[in-house]
Structure 1
Amino acid sequence: MPYSAAVATSGPGSDGGANGGGIVSVGAGSPIERTNVSKPAGSATMRYRASGELTTKVWGRSRGPYTNEPAGASIVLPSTQRASSPSRRDETRQRIVDATIELHQTLGPAATTVSEIAERAGVGRVTVYRHFPDEPTLSRACSGQYFERNQPPDPDRWRAIDDARERLRAALRETYAYHRSTEAMMTRVLADARDHPATAPYHELWRDATDVLVEPWRVRGRRRVLLRAGIALALSFDTWRTLVQEQALTDEQAVELMLRLRSG
């Protein structure tokens, strides 16, 4: 994709001035022309690498790249350029998040590139990095919005059911319905990013759910340890997917099987 920008060849003050830096004007298909300009205070810098990917930083404070490729020149985005309205920025940010969620659900996090996100969102790659300077920031935003739209079960509500077996039955029904509704996304996310920090709240949810379901059972010691392991296994997305996809059970049949294994 043709790219035209002012490229800083060195840091602030490198030309002997208080704020200036050596600037190279790069136009698509044009020769490189060196000029000297003053760098606006607080301007952001984006490092453009040979791969065409970008990483952002503010002078003297790195924000971290999406990849570990060596940095090349620096694209200066002056703070004095006209800023978009808050509503426009929010709209652009939302398009980027929506595009990323769609790509994670169809391709998976590992196969999703910044170029694909930008293309689907209808923005440039620079815009993606301006809103989300690194991968963890974008992943947290996407994870938060996805689970806000796809609310998981609330384990605390199961405490209203005193009978241990009936509590487990109700929980499994609700859990398996949730696994089914989020299957496309979680299949890819757990395959590519099971241990990513953005998925930590998801795993914590099921640990808390396991605690709630173990509470009413009157067993202690080793039996309680085994009980907890069995309930955690029953709640697992991987267990549900094995039963309904590989063994062709319905959700209700999968629930009954887990209850029988607990009783047996």
Structure 2
Amino acid sequence: MSELTANLRSNVSLARRAWGIRRKALQMGEVQGQGYVGQALGVADVLATSYFHALNLRADDPEWEGRDRFLLSIGHYAIALYAALIEAGVLPEDEIGTYGMDDSRMPMSGMASYTPGMEITGGSLGHGLGIAVGMALGLKAKGGDQFVYNLMSDGELGEGSTWEAVMSATQHRLSNLICIVDFNNQQADGPTRDALAVGAEAPKWEAFGWHAQEVDGNDLDALVAAFDGARNCPDAKPRVIICNTKMCKGVPFLEEREITHFVRVEPDEWTRALDILDEEVPA
């Protein structure tokens, strides 16, 4: 483990890291007056656990060969990943005000060519896990001990390419692959559970030969246990963590409104949301 990786796992609590990710995502959303902040608030605990507990990386060398790879299959979640990368020190905090601007390193949809720490360009959904399978195969062939993490959405469970990748990972016994599913029950066409037949998600993945866990994605203790369980699983099989998250988590007045795939925040509500976060800053 690098010294910088160890420093990321300092005595700053995961709760404080998740708070920081939420706050930075809201600040970026305020710059443009829009953004997928509902997803960012919901997945902040998952990202905090990923970057400040699970991943091996070097903040000052995002292309370090020994790093674990973190793939963002859901490109429109870029605002959330930028917040995590800023919190981790990979991106400087003074770039928050450039979010979505011309020539920014933080475009509104994630692009690997623009952003340090962004491993893939996310656009059409359903491709991230297939790319992760290829990366995991390559690292395994090179004899490396790195893990490949792929964060994908529940909507991607309706993509055929996802299940082709699932079967490929099983076939190649990719024990260095950890898939994280953000299950917030929202996609562009409405609630995920109304779009295609879903349910019994962990048993479904297990039937495909994966080590599967399903957890409350806003419970940091449960996430730490699940990430540790995935990384330390002794079986030569790929691993998945299904994280049930709540859209807009941490900002009650946004949590309570009718939730859709794209949560609209009124101009006067950005400051209100930030003030609510600042009322209870974790230790």
TM normalised by structure 1 equals 0.26
More helix, by proportion: 1
Whose Rg is larger? 1
Whose RCO is larger (CA < 8 A, sep 6+)? 2
